[in-house]
Amino acid sequence: MSKKPVRVAVTGAAGQIGYALLFRIASGEMLGKDQPVILQLLEIPDEKAQKALTGVMMELQDCAFPLLVGMEAHSDPMTAFKDVDYALLVGARPRGPGMERADLLAANAQIFTAQGKALDKVASRNVKVLVVGNPANTNAYIAMKSAPSLPAKNFTAMLRLDHNRALSQVAAKTGKPVAAIKKLTVWGNHSPTMYADYRFATIDGQDVKDMINDQEWNANVFLPTVGKRGAAIIDARGLSSAASAANAAIDHMRDWALGTNGEWVTMGVPSQGWYGIPQDVIFGFPVTCENGEYKVIEGLPIDAFSQERINKTLEELEGEKDGVKHLL
């Protein structure tokens, strides 16, 4: 018997990440090749954006995806999020010319307050929310705080792109395939302050730290490369990462929904005090997923170098949180 369709909301659906994401959701790459989906797509109430969304929907239709059993265009989160089981919050206000960081935080705070409130009112009580739009951790925090009747644990931010970037750098350094690398993680904020950590990673049972054995490379090559990768892509492409960001969003949601078979992945999730990170700060942690739930790996030793990096990314997140507290 075929499964009951699930409702998937995607915001910023006519944007460049949306274009790299929707076709993969509709083909079953996110929730499984046996899971029918209904796409509920949100764009701003602007003629050009809505027209572009219509074009994307025409293309989705032209793919004749067997799993795509419904599709709707929306300009209001209150209708877009009705009964949704999954919400991918991609649309956000980009930094414009002359815009200060505080202005960017405030503009996005408005968007994510409204979207959090709408999720609170109309989404499924089990909705799984992934925030991709930057600043992703703080936007997820705002949406979570604006949705008090939903479980806080259902709000997550995307650190998976940083995780995947770190995997590829370690693979290149060791000459081993990415699939062989286990137990890597990225702590903190989706920003250049994130701390990609291979201290626990193994390849075919061997410690990656011993294989690399180069703290100078870790501190001065690996961490800056992963941390500044988003800016390097903007510089090279003239646009921010889109296909790799969409791919990371698919990975994040697929693993959350379908499980990781004991493998570690990184998710930005509201802290419950793990590793001294204050309650509710949305922070990248190592997790495993099973039965639709993530579980943070606890009890890992944190050395002085790692603690310093974790403190730095936490400090940045606390600063972002302070910058929006008057708006919540």
Contact string 156-185 vs ligand NAD (x = CB under 6 A): --x--x------------------------
Closest residue to ligand NAD in the complex (CB): 15
Using CB under 6 A as the binding rule, whether residue 190 contacts ligand NAD is answered as: yes
Site of tokens 């990415």:
178
- Minimum separation from the CB atom of position 204 to ligand NAD (A): 29
Clarify whether 190 is annotated catalytic.
Answer: yes
Integer-rounded Cα Rg, in Å, for the chain is 19
Instruction: Quote the Cα angle for 193-195-200, to 5°.
Output: 180
Helices 243-258 and 16-26: crossing angle, nearest 10°? 40
- Minimum separation from the CB atom of position 27 to ligand LMR (A): 24
Given 36, 133, 284, 286, the residue binding ligand NAD (CB under 6 A): 133
Residues 217 and 199: their CA atoms lie apart, in Å, by 13
* Nearer to ligand NAD (CB atom), residue 3 or residue 51: 51
Chain residues 228-247 in contact with ligand NAD, contact rule CB under 6 A: 240-242, 245
Question: Which residue positions form the known binding site for substrate?
Answer: 95, 101, 134, 165
Residues 26 and 37: their CA atoms lie apart, in Å, by 7
The closest of 84, 67, 47, 63 to 2, measured between CA atoms, is 67
Instruction: Quote the Cα angle for 93-285-35, to 5°.
Output: 70
Q: Which residues bind ligand LMR (CB under 6 A)?
A: 134, 161, 230, 233, 240-241, 245
Using CB under 6 A as the binding rule, whether residue 266 contacts ligand NAD is answered as: no
8 Å CB contact between 226 and 248: no
Just list the catalytic residues: 190
Kindly list the residues in this chain that would bind ligand NAD in the complex (CB under 6 A): 11-12, 14-18, 42-44, 49, 90-94, 111, 132-134, 136, 158, 161, 190, 240-242, 245
